[in-house]
Amino acid sequence: MHMADVASAAGVAVSTVSRALSGNPGVSERTRDRIRRITEELGYVVSPEASKLSGGRTGRVGFVTPTIDEWFYASVIAGATRVLADHGIDVVLYPVADSVARARFFEELPARRKVDAIIVIAFPLTDYEWERLDSMNVHAVVVGIVTPDRPSVGVVDQIVGRQAVDHLLALGHREIGMITCVDPEGSHYSSDISREQGFRSALKEAGVAVNEDFVVAVRWGIEGGSIGMSALLALPHTPTAVFAFSDEVAFGAMRTLRRAGLEVPNDMSLIGVDDHPMAESMDLTTVAQSPRRQGEIAGELCVGLLEDADPPLQISLPTSLTIRRSTTPPRPGRRARAKQPPAGVDG
Amino acid sequence: MHMADVASAAGVAVSTVSRALSGNPGVSERTRDRIRRITEELGYVVSPEASKLSGGRTGRVGFVTPTIDEWFYASVIAGATRVLADHGIDVVLYPVADSVARARFFEELPARRKVDAIIVIAFPLTDYEWERLDSMNVHAVVVGIVTPDRPSVGVVDQIVGRQAVDHLLALGHREIGMITCVDPEGSHYSSDISREQGFRSALKEAGVAVNEDFVVAVRWGIEGGSIGMSALLALPHTPTAVFAFSDEVAFGAMRTLRRAGLEVPNDMSLIGVDDHPMAESMDLTTVAQSPRRQGEIAGELCVGLLEDADPPLQISLPTSLTIRRSTTPPRPGRRARAKQPPAGVDG
DNA sequence: CTGTTAGCGCGTTCAT
DNA sequence: ATGAACGCGCTAACAG
């Protein structure tokens, strides 16, 4: 079943069919409709390969992402995929889980010649990596981090940190800790640095000195959060409130607190970032963002770029403080102190 | 930069370059190595479009999946993507979130001519849908549900139900409820039916009659679980233990219990399915499965099929009971009874 | 508005 | 072991 079959069935030339199907001008509406109908009846579809080969687009957008199965990344991909699907664009996945895969991706560029655009999720590229990406000669957009000079959409992580800390300050907390994240290989996500900056500047403006013991860096995730809180509880003097890098980190922190026999928020206030689906169930106060929405906008950005429109280049989305029951004013005289030794896994 | 450039740089014909790069026989190892080196130096990559057009594969596998941003699906995709990437195969996403998108997918078959194989995640296809899929003339594999006559990998949901209920029975429970799931449009996931079958047959074999009031069907997810538990608590006579369709459903159920002032497991034992990343933190007893592993195997199945190997067709993976602190023997005389009215959202 | 023609870049015969 | 030539199915330029 080729375009020629449709052409002869319609009694026209292939070029007419091509024009009709691609939506290009130069065909009468009558002919176009007839050809569409016949195409339908015959169940014919244009071969994307042949189409691309002779000058068209690939109709594909590639996603470079650290993981697929974590909430943030999955949500971004889901949002973008929905939007792109509406435009008939397929999404191809290029996971770069660790530094080896990452180096390999930018070295070999497996997406070369396979996509019309690349979307990079939430990790900062080195100059070399940008150079490689640019060498592909396709559009590139960053989602999750607003990036200067690049089409990008994300939240402003300094503000995220401020919102969280301002809330704790407003409640009366002065001894505030932070559990931030580094990736297993020691590099940074960029959001970690920015959120910590927000944390520090909010405290500074409030005239509160940062106790460096209160800032711990762990591996991202529930387990990391659990370990981070264990470290804080081991301090001779503990904070009365903790800002966790993300909700999942906060969940881990909650686990450690619970297993230590401590109550949130009475013994310790806790605030996260994301508004993860579980946050409501856990009564976790958080700075909400919508990765799904970010993905959708990234998709729209891509579509705009591909259509040679000139869409706005840097889009920053607002985040909002969502107050639940994990934060409360500090209780004078009450201070977190493990009532039971933390379980082994938390140490 | 085309194959011709590599050919002239190497002083050979394009056909030789083609053979060398595609790994086909008919080239001396010396020549092949030299061509490879030059290809590398020039940064040349074969055009997948042109390659496919003249008889090759697309090098792509499509995923038909209800969602991308839920843990189970995301994990399957992540597992498969990793395996397929090792074989140089790209993954393309075809989300079918609702019945409209689903009907449209099988009607228009947007994946036609774009992939070498299709992987369907965890939903049962109708005869018509299979017919459409088969009309694409590519391999199709099902993951999540072991499917007769089709290459598939999954767990046996009847056994899942049995494992859960047997555990509750062994603890001494006799009044056991189940929160199962239907999709928002009333159709079934297949796993729901099978797990309920397991639930019923386990009870039957133990000589315990099923109290039909104890079986409630809700929409999948945390919210659904919350509503399901509210329904059970509203009963004049409540179960002492509940089997939730999945961990996320169980999390919702836990929320309702907590907000009703009830304790798990003392007032109610609760068991889920999956071993979701949050299950450990929530101390949830569960029947563990590994969607990631299922995805990996689905990927391997695909690779085998594409390489004309004949891999095993139906692969069922074991599930294992993971006992945590959400299940305990029933307390005689103690029975779940809301101590506070459930919060509005839970009603 | 429609038909004809010439590539798009590569795999694959068939020769050599 | 290597080269030449054809065709994969389509789009774009040109001709009518």
Note the pLDDT tens digit of each residue in A237-283.
999 999 999 999 999 999 999 999 999 999 999 999 999 999 999 99
Q: How far apart are CA A34 and CA A9, in angstroms?
A: 10
* Closest-CA residue of chain A to B111: A90
| In the predicted structure, residue A318 carries a pLDDT above the cut 80 | yes
Q: How far apart are CA B271 and CA B245, in angstroms?
A: 9
Q: What does strand D contact on the protein, if contact means CB under 7 A?
A: A 2-4, 14-15, 17-18, 21-22, 24, 46-47, 50-51, 53-56; B 11-16, 19, 25-28, 30-31, 50, 53-55
Asked if A106 reaches chain B (Cβ–Cβ under 8 Å), the answer is no
The residue type found at B262 is: L
| Among B residues 266-295, those touching chain A with beta carbons less than 8 Å apart | 277-278, 280-281, 292
pLDDT band at B199 (very low <50, low <70, confident <90, very high): very high
Q: What is the pLDDT, as a whole number, of residue B13?
A: 86
Highest mean pLDDT among A50-54, A72-76, B145-149: A72-76
**B206-222 as b/e: b if 16+ CB within 10 A:** eeeeeeeebbbbbebbb
B49 with A58: Cβ contact below 8 A: yes
| In the predicted structure, residue A129 carries a pLDDT above the cut 70 | yes
Helices A14-22 and A3-10 pack at an angle, to 10 degrees, of: 100
Q: B281 to chain A: which residues are within 8 Å by CB?
A: 222, 226, 251-252, 254-255
* Closest-CA residue of chain A to B259: A281
The residue type found at B7 is: A
Q: How far apart are CA A81 and CA A294, in angstroms?
A: 12
Asked if B299 reaches chain A (Cβ–Cβ under 8 Å), the answer is no
How far, in Å, is the CA of A116 from the C1' of nucleotide C1?
Answer: 32
Average pLDDT over residues A32-46: 87
The residue type found at B150 is: R
* A241 phi-psi bin (left φ>0, alpha ψ -120 to 50, beta other): beta
Q: Which of residues 28-57 of A touch strand C (CB under 7 A)?
A: 28, 30-31, 50, 53-55
Mean of per-residue pLDDT scores for chain A: 90
How far, in Å, is the CA of A28 from the C1' of nucleotide C2?
Answer: 10
| In the predicted structure, residue A161 carries a pLDDT above the cut 60 | yes
Q: How far apart are CA B110 and CA B126, in angstroms?
A: 18
Q: How far apart are CA A178 and CA A181, in angstroms?
A: 10
Tally A–B CB contacts below 8 A: 121
Average pLDDT over residues B246-258: 96
How far, in Å, is the CA of A19 from the C1' of nucleotide C3?
Answer: 12
User: Percent of chain A scored above 90 by pLDDT?
Assistant: 65
Asked if A85 reaches chain B (Cβ–Cβ under 8 Å), the answer is yes
- Strands B320-322 and B285-288 come out as antiparallel
Residue B47: which of A71, A77, A113 has the nearest Cβ? Answer: A113
Specify the 3-state DSSP secondary structure of A7.
Answer: helix
Q: What is the DSSP letter of A41?
A: H
B50: CB partners within 8 A, 6+ apart: A49, A53
Range of weakest confidence among A191-200, B179-188, B249-258: B179-188
Q: What is the pLDDT, as a whole number, of residue A335?
A: 61
pLDDT band at B209 (very low <50, low <70, confident <90, very high): very high
Q: What is the pLDDT, as a whole number, of residue B342?
A: 46
Range of weakest confidence among A159-168, A321-330, B121-130, B225-234: B121-130
Q: For residue A139, what are the β-bridge partners?
A: A117
Q: What is the pLDDT, as a whole number, of residue B150?
A: 94
| In the predicted structure, residue B224 carries a pLDDT above the cut 90 | yes
Written as six digits, the tokens of A91 are 């999404």
* Closest-CA residue of chain A to B50: A53
CA atoms within 13 A on the CB side of A92: 27
Give the pLDDT confidence of B210-219 residue by residue, as tens digits: 999 999 999 9
Residues A216 and A231: beta-carbon distance below 8 Å: yes
Q: A112 to chain B: which residues are within 8 Å by CB?
A: 45
How far, in Å, is the CA of B2 from the C1' of nucleotide C3?
Answer: 31
Q: Which of residues 244-283 of A touch strand C (CB under 7 A)?
A: none
pLDDT band at A333 (very low <50, low <70, confident <90, very high): low
B51: CB partners within 8 A, 6+ apart: none
Give the pLDDT confidence of B109-149 residue by residue, as tens digits: 889 888 999 999 998 899 999 999 998 888 999 999 999 99
User: Percent of chain B scored above 70 by pLDDT?
Assistant: 95
pLDDT band at A344 (very low <50, low <70, confident <90, very high): very low
How far, in Å, is the CA of A241 from the C1' of nucleotide D7?
Answer: 71
Q: A94 to chain B: which residues are within 8 Å by CB?
A: 85, 90
* Closest-CA residue of chain B to A52: B49
Q: What is the pLDDT, as a whole number, of residue A346?
A: 41
CA atoms within 13 A on the CB side of B297: 23
Nucleotide nearest to B4 (CA to C1'): C9
| In the predicted structure, residue A29 carries a pLDDT above the cut 60 | yes
Of B27 and A140, the one with more pLDDT: A140
Average pLDDT over residues B196-223: 96
Residues A199 and A161: beta-carbon distance below 8 Å: yes
| In the predicted structure, residue B312 carries a pLDDT above the cut 90 | no
| In the predicted structure, residue B221 carries a pLDDT above the cut 60 | yes
| In the predicted structure, residue A309 carries a pLDDT above the cut 90 | no
Give the pLDDT confidence of B84-98 residue by residue, as tens digits: 999 889 999 999 998
Q: Is residue A270 within a helix (H) or strand (E), and if so which, with residue range?
A: strand A269-274
Measured between CA atoms, how close is B162 to chain A, in angstroms?
Answer: 28
Average pLDDT over residues B57-69: 92
Residues A35 and A23: beta-carbon distance below 8 Å: no
Q: B294 to chain A: which residues are within 8 Å by CB?
A: none
Average pLDDT over residues B146-156: 94
Residues B298 and B153: beta-carbon distance below 8 Å: yes
Q: A280 to chain B: which residues are within 8 Å by CB?
A: 222
Of A186 and B301, the one with more pLDDT: B301
B81 with A74: Cβ contact below 8 A: no
Asked if A251 reaches chain B (Cβ–Cβ under 8 Å), the answer is yes
Average pLDDT over residues B309-318: 87
Asked if A136 reaches chain B (Cβ–Cβ under 8 Å), the answer is no
Q: What is the pLDDT, as a whole number, of residue B337?
A: 59
* A234 phi-psi bin (left φ>0, alpha ψ -120 to 50, beta other): alpha
Q: How far apart are CA B254 and CA A255, in angstroms?
A: 15
